[in-house]
């Protein structure tokens, strides 16, 4: 099972965990991204996420398929939020279930690392005195 | 000549001054042709550390040939997650 979503609504972490539960799984690994209040010593007021939605959905599906072909995992959920988020809110949730923990850990890490490298989603940091598009992976 | 519609996201939107622009190029232009035409017209693109171009939701290579029916988008460095 693979479930991919991009939404403006707040992400439901519990729901993501529930979606990957299965009786044949021995563990679930979850990555929850949260909006941090500081960047390089500057206070962040909020973040704005923008997605090229059709392509981002496709790239996220590809990542899930790559995981399926590389690790013996059962279920994968990748949900990303767009729009304006406040400090502490959750822009991304990744949940992976597997029979054994190593596959779940490795797959979850691969999912977030690869998402950050190639899924066409952008964040703009909003500071008290202006805003700037982030380019973390030049 | 043919007119290609180009979508912009993130900082590329600020550089183009909008979500989409149109640019005239030869029929059967390549991604490389598009890149140099865009950089001539919008020199700030060259200041980006890098950017990709996507055609119909897939990252394209420099030699790819584009058509006016394709959905073409400028993908500045991504920063999701």
A87 belongs to a structural domain: yes
**Separation in Å, CA A109 to CA A33, A65, A86, B39:** 12, 15, 25, 36
Q: What is the pLDDT of residue A138?
A: 38
pLDDT in tens, B6-22: 999 999 999 999 999 99
A135–B11 CB contact, under 8 Å: yes
> Using alpha carbons only, how large is chain B's radius of gyration in Å?
12
Number of structural domains (chain B) is: 1
Nearest CB to B80; choose among A54, A116, A138? A116
Chain A positions with Cβ closer than 8 Å to B? 33, 49-52, 54-56, 58, 80, 91-92, 112, 115-124, 133-138
Residue A107 covered by a domain: yes
Closest-CA residue of A relative to B80 is A121
Residue B69 lies in a domain: no
Contact A92/B7, CB-based, under 8 Å?
Answer: no
- Answer whether residue A134 is part of any domain: no
Query: A17 in a domain, yes or no?
Result: yes
Q: Across all residues in chain B, what is the average pLDDT?
A: 97
Owning domain of residue A6: 2-127
Residue B46 in domain? yes
Tell me if B13 is assigned to some domain: no
Chain B residues touching residue A133 (CB < 8 angstroms):
10-11, 14, 76, 79
Tally of domains within chain A: 1
Q: Is B11 on the interface with A (CB under 8 A)?
A: yes
Q: How far apart are CA B79 and CA A54, in angstroms?
A: 17
Task: Give the sign of the dihedral formed by CA B8, CA B16, CA A8, CA A120.
Answer: positive
Look up the domain containing B59 and give its range. Answer: 18-63
Picking from B10, B75, B80, the nearest residue to A80 by CB comes out as B80
Q: In which residue ranges of chain A is pLDDT below 50?
A: 137-138
pLDDT digits 0-9 by tens, A93-115:
999 999 999 999 999 999 999 99
pLDDT for residue B59:
98
- Tens of pLDDT, residue by residue over A73-83, are 999 999 999 99
Partner residue opposite A55 with nearest CB, options B11, B57, B79: B57
CATH for A111? 3.90.1170.40
* B22-59 residue pLDDT tens: 999 999 999 999 999 999 999 999 999 999 999 999 99
Indicate whether A136 belongs to any domain.
no
Task: Specify the DSSP class assigned to residue B36.
Answer: H
Among A32, A85, A113, A135, most B C-beta atoms within 10 A, so best to mutate, is A135
């Amino acid at each position: 099972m693979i479930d991919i979503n991009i939404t403006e609504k707040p992400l439901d972490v519990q729901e993501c965990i529930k979606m990957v539960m299965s009786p044949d799984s021995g563990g679930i690994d979850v990555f929850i991204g949260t909006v941090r209040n500081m960047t390089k010593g500057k206070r962040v007021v909020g973040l704005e996420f923008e997605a090229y939605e059709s392509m981002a959905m496709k790239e996220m599906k590809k990542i899930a398929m790559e995981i399926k072909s590389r690790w013996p995992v059962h279920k994968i959920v990748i949900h990303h939020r767009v729009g304006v988020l406040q400090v502490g809110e959750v822009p991304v949730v990744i949940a992976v279930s597997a029979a054994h923990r190593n596959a779940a850990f490795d797959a979850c890490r691969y999912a977030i690392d690869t998402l950050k490298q190639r899924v066409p989603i952008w964040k703009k940091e909003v500071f008290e005195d202006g805003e700037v598009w982030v380019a973390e992976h030049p | 000549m043919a007119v290609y519609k180009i979508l912009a996201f993130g900082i590329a939107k600020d550089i183009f001054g909008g979500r989409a622009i149109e640019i005239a190029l030869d029929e059967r232009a390549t991604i490389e042709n598009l890149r140099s035409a865009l950089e001539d017209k919008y020199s700030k693109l060259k200041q980006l550390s890098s950017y990709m171009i996507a055609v119909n939701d897939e990252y394209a290579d420099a030699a790819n040939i584009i058509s006016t029916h394709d959905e073409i988008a400028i993908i500045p460095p991504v920063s999701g997650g």
